[in-house]
Amino acid sequence: MAFGIFSGMMPIIPFHMVLAVALALFFKGSKITAALGSWVSNPLTWAGIYYFNYKIGAGILGLSENNRDFSSIMETLKYPEEGVNIIRSTISAGSSIVGAFLIGGVLMGIVASIPSYFIFLKVFRVIKMWRERRRALKQLKKKASEK
């Protein structure tokens, strides 16, 4: 899940799931949960994620926070069905803008994925225990009905 959340914070629309699954393959994690985690980035959250990616990256790189290219990228995000256009407008904005987005994305990904790892580790343990108890209860009922 943490790999998916990390990749979901990256400004790589529409390749979040590809990165999440690749990270899961490399680190021998669950590809399914990585793919699910990448949906933290979706058409409802893209604008917020991109906005904070740029603001964090621009702050680190010392770029102006109000930038015409940044404004055009944010305008492109209003039409999420055109993910390729979002990438095109980001790349055409120049290397400093792309760098700001990537640095911000990596930092946001790290900040979001580390706690999510521990949260979902606990969630999945609880689910596993619940399944085991349910399975044991079914076996007890089956043995009781056989008598």
User: Which tokens hold the place of 29?
Assistant: 């994690």
Stated pTM of the model: 0.78
pLDDT at residue number 83: 61
90 has a pLDDT exceeding 80: no
Question: CA separation (Å) from 95 to 80, 99, 102?
Answer: 23, 6, 10
pLDDT at residue number 119: 95
pLDDT at residue number 106: 95
54 has a pLDDT exceeding 90: no
pLDDT at residue number 144: 83
Give CA–CA dist 17/15, Å, rounded. Answer: 6
Closest to 107 (Cα-Cα) out of 36, 41, 64, 59 = 59
Looking at residues 51-74, what average pLDDT do you find?
81
34 has a pLDDT exceeding 90: yes
Buried b (16+ CB within 10 A) or exposed e, 82-94: ebeebbebbeebe
> What is the percent of the chain where pLDDT is above 90?
50
For the ranges 47-51, 57-61, 86-90, 116-120, the lowest mean pLDDT is seen at 86-90
Cis peptide before 43 (omega within 30 of 0): no
Looking at residues 48-67, what average pLDDT do you find?
84
